[in-house]
Structure 1
Amino acid sequence: MASNDTTASGVLVVGLGRFGSALADTLDAMDVEVLAVERDGDLVERWSKRLPVVQADATDPRALEQMGAEEFSAAVVGVGTSLEASVLITGNLVDIGMQEIWAKAISTEHARILRRIGAHHIVFPESDAGARVAHSVGGRMLDYIEIDEGFTIVKMRPPLETHNFSLAELKLRDKYGVQVIGVMSPGGEFEYGSKSTVLHADDLLVVGGDGDLVERFAQRP
């Protein structure tokens, strides 16, 4: 197994299906060094004008070695429909000592196998997207991200009772167990929340805390 290189950087994205291509394209737009790996020639041709792409079969460890995969600090395995390919690719990345491995899973059993062989993070694209939409539909929440079990960050509109009061006056952590991380006013820039921050009806709040507590706060009128 290769040793981790602290100078490694960039993200290797394996698979240019809908999930992998969207992720690679977004990383590239963010000026993150990215290299996409895809064995389908049609997909390689489609994306080669927009992204750095290598046509290769990542289930073959020699292919990863030839493209210098160990020089990247993170990898995303976007192959999900073929469980065998997903497992082989993830195992190959573990063997070369990849520092961070994110792997797409299509079932809990698939996820269990990926974790067992060494994937650091498991992604369920469709169910994750569904959960975010479900939390946003019909309420004050505009976006919902579960950072870890027990901690959630949401973007939301401020409840009526908070309008025109400062965070010091509201004492939201004491009253509701949530923390206003930041506030964005219309046309303004994001500002971190402080005791003197006053909330207005047309502000957008970034709120963090226990998932259940954040949801209860977001459901207040």
Structure 2
Amino acid sequence: MAKRQLAVIGLGQFGRGVTDTLIKQGHDVLVIDKKERLVSDYQAIATEAIVADTTEENRLKSLGLTNFDYVIVAIGEDIQASILTTLILKDMGVKNIWVKAINRNHSKILSRIGADHIIQPEKDIAKRLVNQLLHNHIMDFVELSNDHSIVEIKVSQRLVNRSIEDIDLRGLYGLSLISIRHNGKVDINPNPYYLIQPKDVLIILGHNREIQKFKKVEVYDEATLKAKR
């Protein structure tokens, strides 16, 4: 793999994950964040680590990002900062701008202002997970963001012989059933009338709070609940 020069703007959970992966692959990585405590973690391991507010046009232009192969805007929940940073980068003539989108509307705006590639972590990870499922490589846990995850859950006795429709993950908990693993095989699109079997494993996507609620109501047995009290 050819060594590339990349910049990562935003050192939240997603930005750190991207940065760590790029560094392990041997690329030159410049990291940028307005929070000094986050930047300090990369002073010794990134090619360069800079404290900067990338919504300040003159400051962003001073960083020489037009010379980089890729610039990844990984700013977290601040949609305004993400959009403004992307606009400035486009105005500077930066090539290959990849931007993390928080939601569909954010993605549409980024597309309209010229982001070269839009990253949607939940959607992209879900796609990769489905590919793994098809090859029977199951993840125990995938953290999509601070609030959302994909988990695999072994069914409890109280779930056995109940249908997917009866469990009603979507209606009762706002969760998505990605697939069911049964006897070593994975069903990506299970029939709603399928009856859960004792050794089945459910692969579920959703908000961490709702996942825990579902576990407490439907999965934990009395011994488990007592241990958690």
- Which interval holds the TM-score relative to the shorter structure? 0.5 to 0.7
Counterparts of 2:22 and 2:76, CA distance in 1: 20
Pairing of 1:172-183 with structure 2 (within 5 A): none
Q: Residue deviations 1:19-61, cap 9 Å, x none?
A: 1111112112222121011101110122222222100011112
Of 27, 36, 42, which residue of structure 2 is paired with 1:32? 27
Of 58, 66, 82, which residue of structure 2 is paired with 1:86? 82
For residue 96 of structure 2, what is the amino acid of its counterpart? E
Tell me which residue corresponds to 2:128: 132
Pairing of 1:1-221 with structure 2 (within 5 A): 10-51=5-46, 52-137=48-133, 139-140=134-135, 142=137
Provide the alpha-carbon RMSD of the alignment.
1.7
Secondary structure of the corresponding residue to residue 50 of structure 2: strand
Quote how far apart the aligned CAs of 1:131 are. Answer: 2.6
> Against the structure 1 CA distance between its residues 141 and 102, is the aligned structure 2 distance closer, same or farther, given a 3 Å change threshold?
farther
Counterparts of 1:142 and 1:86, CA distance in 2: 34
Q: Residue deviations 1:94-115, cap 9 Å, x none?
A: 0111110100001111000001
Q: Are the equivalent residues in 1 in contact too, given 2:97–2:117 (CA < 8 A)?
A: yes
Secondary structure of the corresponding residue to residue 98 of structure 1: coil
For residue 65 of structure 1, what is the amino acid of its counterpart? K
Alignment identity in percent? 34
**How many residues in Structure 1 have an aligned counterpart in Structure 2?**
134
Q: Residue deviations 1:96-149, cap 9 Å, x none?
A: 111101000011110000011110100011221123223423x42549xxxxxx
For residue 87 of structure 2, what is the amino acid of its counterpart? G
Secondary structure of the corresponding residue to residue 47 of structure 1: coil
Quote how far apart the aligned CAs of 1:83 are. Answer: 0.7
Counterparts of 1:112 and 1:83, CA distance in 2: 12
Counterparts of 1:97 and 1:129, CA distance in 2: 30
For residue 23 of structure 2, what is the amino acid of its counterpart? D
Secondary structure of the corresponding residue to residue 87 of structure 2: helix
Quote how far apart the aligned CAs of 1:80 are. Answer: 3.2
User: TM-score, normalising length from structure 1?
Assistant: 0.57
Tell me which residue corresponds to 1:173: none
> Against the structure 1 CA distance between its residues 135 and 31, is the aligned structure 2 distance closer, same or farther, given a 3 Å change threshold?
closer
> Against the structure 1 CA distance between its residues 141 and 63, is the aligned structure 2 distance closer, same or farther, given a 3 Å change threshold?
farther
Counterparts of 2:137 and 2:98, CA distance in 1: 26
Counterparts of 2:78 and 2:49, CA distance in 1: 21
Unaligned segments of structure 1, at least 5 residues: 1-8, 144-221
Quote how far apart the aligned CAs of 1:81 are. Answer: 0.6
